[in-house]
A and B are shown apart, each in its own frame.
Chain A
């Protein structure tokens, strides 16, 4: 698939901007701070309904404006769809497909698929487990959009259950009365719902990791010959502390059972601490190089290779399913050494579409000659 047309209004630094992209490489060149990343971030927003840089929507709206609009025309196997999202922080965003409103913004997920590689990706390796869970969940939702709903339901139940644990735990420590019994009685209800959505999310992630894991190992091997990188999913309900990998299709119901059993086991502890200790929100995608965990041990170069291997594996996975995702490479070539550069350039050079940003032309490998855009002083002009 590819993005033919992008139009933004009051998005980040841009009051308005409009670009027509071609197939193959499209390179946005301009000095730092000119708004290049802002433009590709807008493309990423339509794919994930979130930014790769911030968790909330507020920073995405141009300072002083109350809402932003991102619109793109996506061509997929000859079919053309126009997506737009109106981003209004503090209210529900609105999305449309071919100008017809959809019920919820997340109904547009899966229409535009991107694989986004940028400087922030170092935190895929070095950051908190939450970064890696987000990587998995975004990829999951982009493959099967229903997981965005599962994840949203899970998060909502989790917040409710955590609130209940806090109050019920507090009551339990103090005077116990009829009212706390009622509250504890509802805890079981929330346990069930948490386990149900948790089981679904967990099944999705486990299946995803099973498919992704050999691709990551292969991609890393090409970037750093001799290096053996592995990924492994560790979950709070798993056997023996939960390391699982590649165990074939996962069954949401039996995973829900396992979560429920674990919830029962730690209930007292949860009430004492007032936190939800079991569920996919506590899980970790473990990255190892050789025998050592990548986080805390890998060198700067190895960390970059691992981050890139994860993105390339995601790209391979989505591509193997038919519609090729749009590859976005945000300001990354300057960061990479020669081998990683040329490996990435080889993949990107064959992509149906790749959007590249760079501060100077010299940073962009020769394979990626194609559409050029010069971004300067709040304007985008087509280069030659």
Chain B
């Protein structure tokens, strides 16, 4: 049979059975046979051969890959309980789902491949073939103006409180609400209430409109409900829901933080801000470093909750103060999260000899330096050094709340040194802020890094969320970056221009004075003749 005949048959079939509406791509453009080939090659590894979300890689993921057999989708433009439109599915494939393992496929698959794979994915559930299912996108209004204004944000905050967002997302939106430790998705897997301070990790996009749409549609299959009934019944106006979306958007930076390689530590006056809440920190540039699960050495860890750290540094010529801030919805150890931790450890694959046991682990953070500033590009192994080439680390723990310094010789060995940096920490509504302070120079020059201004000092970061079962090699790690202590500006930088200006001015005066004298002399001569 020629493809032309096939096409004609398909056309007939399409016209006869399925209403061709704007939101359903015409079936003629979709080919489930080709779609299956794409699916088997690119999707089945995570989503499974039968679309049940149980591919070979699925057990290492939290959130788990979508199970297509129920046709329940988080990111839609349709009401809660309705099927997604083809455009909704296309968006998820094109853009991926940030904050999850689902990448963006727009540049990896052709438009035809993406259309075909959508057609194939829909065959996993009989709901898509059920013509009684109405797939109608909701009507979303336009965002009202003034979204970044203080008044709009304030109004949004009122509704954040009144409609109970804090129950799961917490008072400040970091996912630490009282109901958060009990949350499960429809498959029974543990699920975190979103940290609203990291909009770049929102599954359906971090824009105000994306947030508004999630409020209207809910995220089906998760505990996040739809708020459309509130608008339909006029408990809330559309504008008020937009204000809420604007408030949520205002909690995150305007753009996804850019990763910069070098932390600049400006030199301040005599006293350094040793307190994590010192107002000085608000004036110091902060640097974002993403962290990823440690998947190199066993036991590996695929589901870290700390997605990155904000780092600030200042010095005064004698001491260095380093502030680390990171979002962690739990102040570990916390018995309220123990059952949740157990579910996480049961859900995420483990590769150790004995299965991990949920415990009351503390939160931890580590700052890593080489023992000596390297002259070339050579640095110790980033993952906590090796037996022969250890690294110098500061390690802070929430329980007991203190910091120690030591030499790490790989993930397994940490030898504490006698001198520790000073540390002060606060946990504030889902955020840790820890300040380390240490003298630039110390007596133990063999083991402790000696900080020198004007040099590029390698630095790396590690974090453990105890209530997520993280301890030992179950951690989140960064790669090497650099810390640079700004050099004090030499006095001649300020004095030289002043001297130069004075000289120029003096010379100018002299030239003018001599010129005036000469002019006065010639006038006098003229008068005498």
> Are chains A and B native binding partners rather than an unrelated pairing?
no
Residues of B within 8 A of A (CB): none
> A residues near B, CB below 8 A?
none
